[in-house]
């Protein structure tokens, strides 16, 4: 018991440092949004010797990429945001992983899956096919964020700096953050499109057709709640199970093995299938524990940590529309969403604007790289 408590104390959600606060700032290029696309754009600009600064609303960088870390070693032990990449179909992911020195490993899928189909009958065991090309990243997708942060000067990143508005001022744009103005020649907006349309006053910088698409484009996975459950070991593997669950009972509709590559702990992750408002009113941890015991046996109730990240209620990621809308993978947006706006001073760079893999990690890399190239042009 003491050991379990000790392990619990070692679990922590990634958070970042507090920030400096100045009243005015000038830079050549400003990046708004410190998710993967914004960080990658900043990386490219800084590497090219450009005076670029990034403004992120939250006190932590990474956006939809968030993780549970071992508090002692700092190692990522489970994902609260994305988990998978598909290198055979995502050349951008492969190229960036090589550039940042990251490695993939296969999703653990040996063993049978659990079909949890009826509330009153025991779950079934059955082999389910995996997805071709689906891989995990050593250190989780968090490794992309960590690698970029390790290459960026800390003073170029302003956390806890939500942007409230943007405005023209002669040959530059003015950014209004909570407690300061930033003057920049060009601005990269790497904020979920709906969130940007609703929370940032754009002062006529984008026309109606762009604004309409911004409002109508769902943010991929913004409606989801993801659960990470930690164990001393991936005990299900010894029982011939792959850690996978497909459920019609819930609360989790999908569960997968999320154990780190080195097997230092056992981890499962699940997606909660119940609607955002419904799941808010429940004691989710209790319901999830019951489901785990039903599917994997009593040992599954003895987890050393459980972390739930409900993205639907993260105000810098999801809007009310995302909470209620049907989950739908975004289609590629028209080319004009990838073109410069505001007389060549503004460019959208969120994953959902990518021509390939919109909404995915691959899309975030593409969008960040495209925006940085534009800014350097």
Ligand X SMILES: Cc1cc2nc3c(=O)[nH]c(=O)nc-3n(C[C@H](O)[C@H](O)[C@H](O)COP(=O)(O)OP(=O)(O)OC[C@H]3O[C@@H](n4cnc5c(N)ncnc54)[C@H](O)[C@@H]3O)c2cc1C
In 3D, which of 48, 374, 58 has the Cα closest to residue 191? 58
> Which residues, 6+ apart, have CB-to-CB distance to 67 below 8 Å?
13, 14, 76, 77, 78, 79, 80, 81, 140, 142
Contact flag: residue 156 with ligand X (CB under 6 A): no
Contact flag: residue 52 with ligand X (CB under 6 A): no
Contact flag: residue 190 with ligand X (CB under 6 A): yes
Contact flag: residue 162 with ligand X (CB under 6 A): yes
Contact flag: residue 55 with ligand X (CB under 6 A): yes
Map residues 348-377 to x or -, x wherever contact with ligand X holds by CB under 6 A: --xx-------xxxxxx--x----------
Which residue among 82, 92, 139, 266 contacts ligand X (CB under 6 A)? 82
> Which residues, 6+ apart, have CB-to-CB distance to 374 below 8 Å?
186, 188, 340, 347
Which residue among 96, 108, 303, 311 contacts ligand X (CB under 6 A)? 311
What is the C-alpha to C-alpha distance for residues 79 and 22, in angstroms, rounded to an integer?
34
Read off the DSSP letter of residue 301. G
Structural element, H or E, at residue 245: strand 241-247
Stretch that binds ligand X, among 125-133, 194-202, 207-215, 326-334 (CB under 6 A): 194-202
Of 64 and 172, which has the nearer Cβ to ligand X?
64
CA distances to 91, 109, 371 from 365, rounded to whole Å, are 11, 27, 10
Which residue among 84, 89, 176, 274 contacts ligand X (CB under 6 A)? 84
Which residue among 29, 57, 137, 375 contacts ligand X (CB under 6 A)? 57
**8 A C-beta contact, residue 25 and residue 182:** yes
Which residue among 167, 316, 321, 323 contacts ligand X (CB under 6 A)? 316
Contact flag: residue 37 with ligand X (CB under 6 A): yes
What is the C-alpha to C-alpha distance for residues 118 and 248, in angstroms, rounded to an integer?
7
Total Cβ atoms within 10 A of residue 106: 11
Q: Which residues bind ligand X (CB under 6 A)?
A: 32-38, 55-58, 63-65, 81-85, 162-163, 190-192, 195, 199-200, 220-221, 224, 226, 311, 316-317, 350-351, 359-364, 367
């Amino acid at each position: 018991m003491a050991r379990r408590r000790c392990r619990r104390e070692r679990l922590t959600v990634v958070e970042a440092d507090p920030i400096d606060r100045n009243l005015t700032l000038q830079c050549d290029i400003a990046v708004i949004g410190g998710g993967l696309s914004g960080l990658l754009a900043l990386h490219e600009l800084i590497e090219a010797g450009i005076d670029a600064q990034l403004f992120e609303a939250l006190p932590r960088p990474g956006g939809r990429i968030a993780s549970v870390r071992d508090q002692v070693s700092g190692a990522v032990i489970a994902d609260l945001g994305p988990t998978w990449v598909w290198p055979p179909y995502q050349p951008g992911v492969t190229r960036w992983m090589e550039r940042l020195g990251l490695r993939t490993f296969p999703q653990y899928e040996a063993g049978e899956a659990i079909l949890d189909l009826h509330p009153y009958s025991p779950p079934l065991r059955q082999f389910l096919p995996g997805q071709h090309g689906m891989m995990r990243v050593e250190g989780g997708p968090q490794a992309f964020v960590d690698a970029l942060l390790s290459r960026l000067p800390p003073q170029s990143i302003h956390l806890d700096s939500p942007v409230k508005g943007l405005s023209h001022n002669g040959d530059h744009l003015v950014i209004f953050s909570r407690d300061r103005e930033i003057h920049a020649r060009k601005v990269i907006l790497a904020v979920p499109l709906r969130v940007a349309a609703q929370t940032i006053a754009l002062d006529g910088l984008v026309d109606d057709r762009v604004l309409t698409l911004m409002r109508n484009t769902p943010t991929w996975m913004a409606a989801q709640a993801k659960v990470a459950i930690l164990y001393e070991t991936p005990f299900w593997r010894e029982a011939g199970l792959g850690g996978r669950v497909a459920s019609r009972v819930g609360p989790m509709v999908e569960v997968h093995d999320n154990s780190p590559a080195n097997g230092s702990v056992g981890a499962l992750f699940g997606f909660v299938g119940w609607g955002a408002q419904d799941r808010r009113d429940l004691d989710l941890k209790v319901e999830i524990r019951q489901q785990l015991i039903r599917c994997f046996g009593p040992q599954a109730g003895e987890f050393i940590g459980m972390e739930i990240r409900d993205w639907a209620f993260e105000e810098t990621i999801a809007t009310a529309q995302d909470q209620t809308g049907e989950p739908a993978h975004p289609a590629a947006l028209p080319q004009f969403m990838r073109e410069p706006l505001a007389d060549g001073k503004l460019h959208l760079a969120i994953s959902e604007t990518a021509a390939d893999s919109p909404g995915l990690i691959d899309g975030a890399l593409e969008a960040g790289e495209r925006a940085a190239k534009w800014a350097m042009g």
